[in-house]
Structure 1
Amino acid sequence: MWVVIGACLSADVALAAMRLPIGCKKNVFLTITGKIDKITNTADGTYEMSEGEFLALPTSTVTTSTPWTPKSDFAGPLLTRILQEVAAKGSKLRLVALDDFSVEVDSAYLGKYGTILANSKDGVRLTVRDFGPIFVMYPRDSFRKELDTPFGASHMVWQLCGIVVE
């Protein structure tokens, strides 16, 4: 009997370990892993995007309020552009924050709203103290019925450090 219980517990622990979100990597601005064709770290199959690479991408602006901020101009690259950069192949993403908070998002949801990875607010770079260095931003004010909800708020991940393509 103990062998069966032990085997079940071992399987549960192994399954839980596989589902843990990726952590942030020291000295890496944004880590992308999972179903991607372009990688920079062959040891663990990740794309490690530097801050310089991130800042070199074309920028879009979303003017909106959030549950935590007044109406502001948020700027950063489109999340779909980041996914193109790494040749992402999945239909879902897990967005991971510095504190290991994570949320799963359908990639169609991102394209529908023109989601950006904001790194500035009203022309000022975001820091860890104010939702940065990356804040997942949706045009909440333009789609209030759909995005001004607890579900919409939970997808505005601040202190983003990792993306898992599933």
Structure 2
Amino acid sequence: MLIMNEKIKASEVRLTGVDGEELGIVSRDEALALARELKADLVCTSLLSSPPPCRLTPRGTAKQTAAKEKQQERKAAQPAKVKEIRLTPHIEDHDYETKRRQAEKLLASGDAVQFVVKIQGKEGQRAKELLEQLLKELAEVGRKETGIQLSGKQAAVRVNPVQ
């Protein structure tokens, strides 16, 4: 939570200037007067110490910074989306390159990718080789979460982005 200007209740504050210079311990009224004079906001950075540390920031930037931090926290709290990319064992080179580039983009943007290769008959080994080749080429941007799973009619592997 952001406490600024008149909402600061302490009688004295440890003040830091706009450029980061230490201004020492001053009364709240003196700090508010200085903030008005410099067309700045007085922002309390912590309530845990006495007197509370406060800093002068250009007007409006404190709220913007707090909003950005809140947005970043919200974004980080969301689980990574898993995007599925489907292939066949007999994929053309051009199509393979397109799927690989698509996976690179998804991994770079922070999403996980699930590769699924549809299998018919005895194509299991070919599907496994295809997935291993993809994993090798995507090693810089993604790491496999699971091993290659062959089951019935498909082979699958999940790749997470590298942080």
Provide TM-score, normalisation by structure 1.
0.30
Which structure has greater strand proportion?
2
Higher relative contact order (CA 8 A, sep 6+): 1
Which structure has greater helix proportion?
2
Provide TM-score, normalisation by structure 2.
0.30
- The structure with the larger Rg is 2
